[in-house]
Structure 1
Amino acid sequence: MTLRLPSNKGLVSGLVALASVLLTPTAAQNAAPSTGGVVVNGTSFALNGDHVSYRFHVDPKTGDLINDHFGGLVTETVPMLAPQIQGWVEGIGRVKREFPDMGRGDFRVPAVRVKQTAGYTVSDFRYRSHDVVQGKPALPGLPSTFGRDEGDVTTLVVHMYDNYSSVAADLTYSIFPKLDAIVRSVNITNEGKGNITIEKLASFSVDLPYGDFDMIELKGDWAREGMKVRRKVDYGTQGFGSTTGYSSHLHNPFLGLVAPDTTESRGEAWGFSLIYTGSFAVDVERGSQGFTRAMLGLNPYHLSWNLGPGESLTSPECVATYSENGIGGVSRLFHRLFRNHLMKSKFAVAPRPVLLNSWEGLFFDYNESRIYNLAQESAELGVKLFVLDDGWFGNEYPRVIDNAGLGDWQANKDRFPNGLAPSWTKSPLSRRPTHPRSCSLVSDWALHAGDYPRTLTRSELVLNVALPEVQDFIIASLSDILGNTSVTYVKWDNNRAIHEMPSDSVAHAYMLGLYRVFDTLMTRFPDVLFEGCASGGGRFDAGILQYFPQVWTSDDTDALMRIYTQFGTSLVYPPSSMGAHVSVVPNQQTGRTIPFSFRSHVALMGGSFGFELDPAELSDADRAQIPGIIKLAEEINPIIVKGDLWRLNLPEDSNWPAALYLSEDGNKGVLFYFQVRSTVDQPTPYLRLQGLDPAARYTVNGTDTYSGATLMRMGLQYRFKGEYDSKVVLIEKA
């Protein structure tokens, strides 16, 4: 075995005239053919996927962009009656707008707020021109989706212009037809002579039609990330976001909107995911006319971006998906898009080696010989990857306790007198550098706000990665480690939020700097498997997945809590991206004792499966299970990494949470089925499967064979024994 390591035409005025026109393209325009998922007829636009249409047009009187439809696939637009203007709200505030700006009678939440040289914050963006591009250009300095083959994606760029301020806005829409996904970003350019400040910029803004909606979000905190919340969208504004400098444990840059009767497998559902790792904002507003406006983008509290003449600001991308097959349908679209058109690592769809991480087994209590022995013992059990966690570095300030050593990425000479590289010639090793942006050194490189105290959280400060010299330092330091050892795996941690900054704009500049660091290292070391971490899931977002194909989902390894976290996280992020480990009991975070098999089965649902313990401290019975668990992991991991997920029973709704993974071709599947609380004199209900071919026959656990119709309409029934019992069921098309 091998241990693997670590631009201004057609401007018009007169909003009152809006009441006398139909806000829709003509029937002749509707009839135009599609080109690569994009239909353009004059100034009417449609982005069509296999099952979705996104349609909007230029209002001929105002030059504004008006949304016609975002939902199931349609072939034309039904004219919408122009609004009747009564009361305080002008026509512009009574229509579905694509790029709502500030002032002029729309009192709803704006997608953009520009402060001009004279101090005005009113804008008047109007259509100027458009372009259609085959494929999809990358965003400067930001992670973004991409196409691999011809026909994967087509891009529409709509150029808007404010004639009064000489500010241009380019709205870039891309459609992935086979995945029913629309991606949008916005570029603002100052074409005037004075300076302007961008105070708010949403990447995606859409007004959905009349009707009731529920919104879905993921909330949490340290050790309880990914908790699903579903609530009614009421009149007024509601939303969430992050001001931590990162996407954060507290809220995630994902939004779901569903019809009130939508379930996991039935009904209309819309999903939005911001491809960004920094502070963000999600705004949802139901206005006086009954439309629901949803937008995601940069957090205005961490923006205030100055643009001089000729300068531009590009927003992160936001992905929007739609499915008539419930929340699960939206999830599977996100999973496929992210795996194939966002994650750049060669490991994105590759099976992951079973690992053992030293942290919860040894913490800081180790030396060279103890680590070597643990690695050898792990190898004997069948573990393919050994991860040396925190504590291997630091000499002037040795990282032997939690409040020292960060930023000193040299092997500790007391623990590793010969250095790391020669010590592991017999057993190659991976290393985990604690996040280089968290540094205990007080210097001009640490983020601060003038004379205000620098908040020491966990005895740490945060390096200002907005500075090019700091970026270069990190790149050089990590390149030295990765270029001079046999490390092929890196778990990159970050354990505190950003508190003080010299200006609001530093937050986004910091993130651009961090992306440069990630992109440089990933390009330089393509054979290194990078795993993201931020005290668990503090930076589990689509932006990070561009560079790191997997993320440590939560520091809470308690199996029961992990079911909730992993089910919640899977609303938007593919299981392939989730790191999940088996740890000791009583659990370090909750104190709960759960059987080894249940803990293992929960962890097996993540794309990166492993152990976080010292095998020597296990009971003989638990230790004896490890080889079999590893064999099972290696058999099913390709399905977990590349397959589709159906959440059959949700943990918040059922005592028997269950999930089914099916391979891309549908020929193989693995069912995870759990009982949380024991029951007395009560049979378990039948569990109906999903996603199968009704006409095909499937073998269940190598014995019984049933039709897909039977398995989906009648289901399977199993008997459980006591609390925390579990089943892993293999399914294969006969």
Structure 2
Amino acid sequence: MTNEQLNQAEFELQTKNSSWQFKQDPYQILQHVWYGPKTGMDMSYLQEWHDTGFSGQISDAGNDRTYSLDTRMQEIPVEGTGDYRINSLAIRQADGSIASDLRFKSADHQAKQPLKGLPHSFSESENLNITLMDETSQLEVVLHYSTFEECDVIARSMTITNKGDQPVFIETADSASLDFGLQDLEMIHFYGRHNMEREYQCVPVTNGITEISSKRTSSSHQHNPAVIFKNPTTTETSGNCWGIMLMYSGSFAIRTEKDQHNQIRVSAGINPDTFEWKLEPGQSFQTPEAIFSFSNQGLSRLSKNFHQFIRDHVMRSPLAKKNKPVLLNNWEATYFTFTKEKLLEIAKSAAEMGIDLFVLDDGWFGKRDSDMEGLGDWDVNKEKIGDLGELIDGIKKLGMQFGLWIEPEMVSEDSDLYRNHPDWVIQMPNRSPIRNRYQLVLDFSNPEVVDYIYEKISAILRAHDISYVKWDMNRSLSDLYTKTLPADRQKEMAHRYVLGVYDLANRLTEEFPEILFEACSGGGGRFDAGMLYYMPQIWTSDDTDAKERTKIQFGTSFFYPVSSMGAHVSAVPNHQTGRITSLQTRATAAMAGTFGYELDPTSFDQEEKDLIKEQIAHFHDIQNTILNGEYDRLSHPYKDSYSAWQFNDGKRVIVHGIRYEKRPNSLRQPIELRNLNEDQMYKETKSGMVFSGKALMNGGILLPGELGDNYPFEFIFEALPEKNNQN
């Protein structure tokens, strides 16, 4: 909810447990006051200012040397105002100067509107819109605030409109910034690389500037567009923490500065290193949304806030909250070498084990027998698989649905598409292209290219009974250049490319709402809330090793719900690490996601096939609790010798995990459950033992003591009816 403005000067946004306060000061500068727990009062009493040398004053302040924007907390810090810290907005004026003097103009409430061309949160609540104006250049900036009370989430974005008579250039346009003031904080961020995404790292916020960013025109494997700030004593279950997440899938930057007074500021948005936007008179520019949440109950509650928000206010697919089909993907079974007969042989074995969905991965189109050819030619390779409709009919007769892999943004030089349209690829003039995976990137900043790809892909989907589509993207962008823009607007290209991706995703998912779309970028290279707006699940990583996946999924879980994580059982030795783990270990790791298989079932003996059949039946039984229940992390896999996690739907509690290492002559480790009803009695289904919620949360349950490394475990607790409860 939004409190009423007090004399159009003070504003407070409230959620169930948090408060965001800001006000206009005597000079109509928008001053940030507070973001944290509800306090029931104006928190500006904490702000104290004095004369700081070499921190200048705006002209309105005269000789009041205590007033400097270089030291004050602001709602939108702007370049060129005497604030030397990181800023959220930098505008280059027509005369070359970089300055904008934004003063408060008005505030209003309106129904929350979609962000044109961008993914956005949705809600029936009203926005608070704050309008600021630079009178000299007639630049208008509107800050949009949306509150999601039950999720403890506040979303913010910004619209910039040129109401002057000269063009201006936007050099920086962050979605939002947050001034913490004088605090001792740590930052959790999630770094990585291909096959090792979203690795957890917690570091102190030290003096200077820290940047978490991507310049790859995707959110990237290397850094995720989401960070957490916390007090040093904050744990999973107690203490203050703040989460910031961008709903954006392109190059981003989240910059943090601890200044000369040890005040902390964070600003998040499109990466200014690869961005600039020419704004002609009368034109507007819309930033992506930044999502904020606060918890004073530790990291677990913060994650639940984001999970609920994404499920209820980001994922728009009608399939988002439905149980997912257990799929089998043929990629690791065949790679590019397959025939229709081989695919049907694999499908027959899959059907016998209870697989719901057969997915045909790369290699079904064009002349595509390696990753060096055929990409972009979205016509069925009939020499390889015959008629696609007949193949699908064969799969359906086995009792399964059919899915297909695509990579619409890419093209091979050895392809008809490239030969016919070499001008459609991203390549700098008079220079050889940068290749990655020996493929080039189509210029999705060009609407003509997007239209062509839409027609090719949609024609396949219209003509065939396809239930699932995996949208891949297997390289980062470089040598950014587009033939559609003049020289002074080339830095618009990266953002326009992302808008083109969103345009195609929007058109396909709106036309085919009954198809389950899964995003992918060489695994988790574009795992962000922007893609989840269009596609309710994302392939978490190309690394399917069970042990490594527990760490990747641990990092992913801080912001993204389990239902969004694509996770499969693959063959051993694992194709990424060479590690050999049991089929049950691999299934345990994969059940912390949408669950499926990526292997050749025809290579299994009957005992293994029977085990897989049991696993699939078991997942069908428990998947609603896994995908739609509350998720808790019960261990820290970077510190503990095991990884454990919990799902709870109120009636059933599931604890899954993997013990990494068995030490000789060691006692069994107890593990404490979380967020149970302490007075409720719970029955463990395998042993039949009955426990109180208090016992499980305070004493815990002993992990298995069997020998062997990477040992999987599962405990399922059913809440007993009230008559069976005991105090």
Give me the TM-score of the superposition, normalised by structure 1. 0.92
Check if 1:88 corresponds to 2:54.
Answer: yes
Name which of structure 1's ranges 100-109 and 422-431 shifts more when overlaid on structure 2: 422-431
Structure 1: give runs of 5+ residues left out of the alignment: 1-35
* Structure 1 segment 682-721 matched on structure 2, within 5 A: 682-701=666-685, 703-721=688-706
Q: In 2, Cα distance between the equivalents of 1:160 and 1:364?
A: 56
How far apart in 2 are the matches of 1:80 and 1:57?
A: 14
Report matched runs for 1:181-196 at 5 Å: 181-196=153-168
For each residue in 1:263-316, what CA deviation from the matched residue of structure 2 results, as whole angstroms up to 9, or x when unmatched?
Answer: 122211100100000000010001112211011100001211100001111100
SS at match of 1:568: helix
Per-residue displacement from partner, 1:578-598 (whole Å, max 9, x unpaired)? 000001111101011111111
Q: Deviations over 1:690-716 (max 9, x none)?
A: 011111111122611111111101111
Give the drift of 1:366: 0.9
Equivalent position SS for 2:568: strand
Range that drifts further, 709-718 or 305-314: 709-718
Corresponding residue of 2:227: 255
Is 1:51 the counterpart of 2:24? The answer is: no
- Give the root-mean-square deviation of aligned CA atoms: 1.2
Q: Is 1:677 equivalent to 2:633 in the alignment? A: no
1:269-348 matched pairs, under 5 angstroms? 269-348=241-320
- How far apart, CA to CA, are the structure 2 residues paired with 1:205 and 1:435? 35
CA deviation profile, 1:330-385 (whole Å, cap 9, x unmatched): 11100000011000111111110111100001111210111011111111110000
Equivalent in 622, 643, 664 of residue 629 of structure 2: 643
Check conservation: 1:349, 1:642, Cα contact below 8 A: yes
SS at match of 1:501: coil
Q: CA deviation at 1:620?
A: 4.2
SS at match of 2:448: helix
Alignment partner of 1:144 is 2:120: yes
Match in the other structure for 1:266: 238
Whether the 8 Å contact between 1:409 and 1:433 is mirrored in structure 2 is: no
- Displacement of 1:661 in angstroms is 0.8
For 1:370, the equivalent position in structure 2 comes to 342
Distance 2:590 2:232 in 1: 32
Could you give the per-residue CA deviations for residues 124-166 of structure 1, whole angstroms, max 9, x where no partner exists?
Answer: 11100011124x211111000001xx5xx33110000111111
Q: Is the contact between residue 358 and residue 402 of structure 2 (CA under 8 Å) also seen in structure 1?
A: yes
| SS of alignment partner, residue 170 of structure 1 | strand
User: 1:85-126: CA deviations, max 9, x gaps?
Assistant: 130113211111110001222110010000000001011111
Matches within 5 A, 1:598-617: 598-606=585-593, 608-617=594-603
Q: Does 1:76 align with 2:60?
A: no
Per the TM alignment, residue 433 of structure 1 is displaced from its structure 2 partner at its CA by: 3.3
Output aligned runs, 1:504-515, within 5 Å. 504-515=491-502
Structure 2 residue aligned with 1:166: 138
Equivalent residue in structure 2 for 1:521, among 494, 508, 518: 508
Residues 483-494 of structure 1 aligned to structure 2 (within 5 Å):
483-494=462-473
Distance of 1:277 and 1:97 partners within structure 2:
27
Equivalence for 2:60:
none
Cα deviation for residue 81 of structure 1 reads: 4.4
Distance 1:562 1:254 in 2: 20
CA contact (8 A) 1:646 1:661 kept: yes
Report SS of the residue matched to 2:501: helix
- Report the 3-state secondary structure (helix = DSSP H, G, I; strand = E; otherwise coil) of the residue aligned with 1:296: strand
In the alignment, does 2:381 pair up with 1:412? yes
Tell me the amino acid that sits aligned with residue 157 of structure 1.
N
SS in 2 for 1:695: coil
Confirm or deny that 1:552 pairs with 2:539. yes
Q: Take 2:423 and 2:713, find their aligned partners in 1: how far apart are those partners? A: 55
Q: 2:618 aligns with which of 610, 632, 638?
A: 632
Partners of 1:635 and 1:96 lie apart in 2 by 52
Q: Which has the higher contact order (CA 8 A, sep 6+)?
A: 1
Tell me, in whole angstroms, the C-alpha distance in 2 between the residues paired with 1:452 and 1:222.
28
Aligned to 1:425: 393
- 1:126 maps to 103
Deviations along 1:510-567, one digit per CA (max 9) or x if unpaired, are: 1111111111111100100000011000110110000010000000000110000001
Q: Secondary structure at the match of 2:425?
A: coil
Taking structure 1 as reference, are residues 81 and 370 closer, same or farther at Cα in structure 2, changes over 3 Å only? closer
Provide structure 2 residue ranges, at least 5 long, that are not aligned to the other structure.
57-67, 482-489, 721-727
CA distance in 2, matches of 1:160, 1:199: 18
Q: Secondary structure at the match of 1:403?
A: coil
Shift of 1:39: 3.6
Secondary structure, in 3 states, of the residue corresponding to 1:504?
A: helix
1:550-589 paired onto structure 2 within 5 Å: 550-589=537-576
Of 479, 490, 495, 1:500 maps to 479
Give the aligned partner of residue 20 of structure 1: none
2:30 to 55, 61, 65: 65
Q: What's the counterpart of residue 533 of structure 1?
A: 520
Work out the CA distance in 2 between the residues paired with 1:595 and 1:423.
Answer: 33
What is the rounded CA distance, in whole Å, between the counterparts of 2:433 and 2:72 in structure 1?
A: 47
Render the CA deviation track for 1:615-670: whole Å, top value 9, x for unaligned: 1223444332101100111112111211111101110111121100111xx12221
**What TM-score do the two structures reach when normalised by structure 2?**
0.93
Q: 1:81 to 1:183 in 2, by over 3 A?
A: closer
User: Given the alignment, which residue of 207, 230, 237 partners 2:179?
Assistant: 207
State the distance in 1 between where 2:652 and 2:21 align.
38
CA contact (8 A) 2:395 2:402 kept: no
Q: What residue identity is the alignment partner of 1:672?
A: H
3-state SS of 1:512 partner: helix
Partner of 2:368: 399
Partner of 1:40: 5
Question: Is residue 117 of structure 1 aligned with residue 117 of structure 2?
Answer: no
Q: Give the percent of matched residue pairs that are identical in Structure 1 and Structure 2.
A: 35
Partner of 2:433: 454
C-alpha distance in 2 between matches for 1:633 and 1:542: 26
1:222 Cα deviation from its structure 2 partner: 0.5
Return the alpha-carbon distance in structure 1 between the equivalents of residues 2 and 320 of structure 2: 26
Task: Confirm or deny: 8 A CA contact 2:704 2:713 kept in the other structure.
Answer: no
Tell me how far apart the structure 2 counterparts of residues 413 and 619 of structure 1 sit (CA, whole Å): 32
Give the equivalent residue in structure 1 for 2:718.
732
Corresponding letter in the other structure for 2:704: R
- Residues 43-99 of structure 1: CA deviation (Å, up to 9, x unaligned): 211111111001111112x21111111001121113244411130113211111110
Preserved CA contact (<8 Å) 2:93 2:167: yes
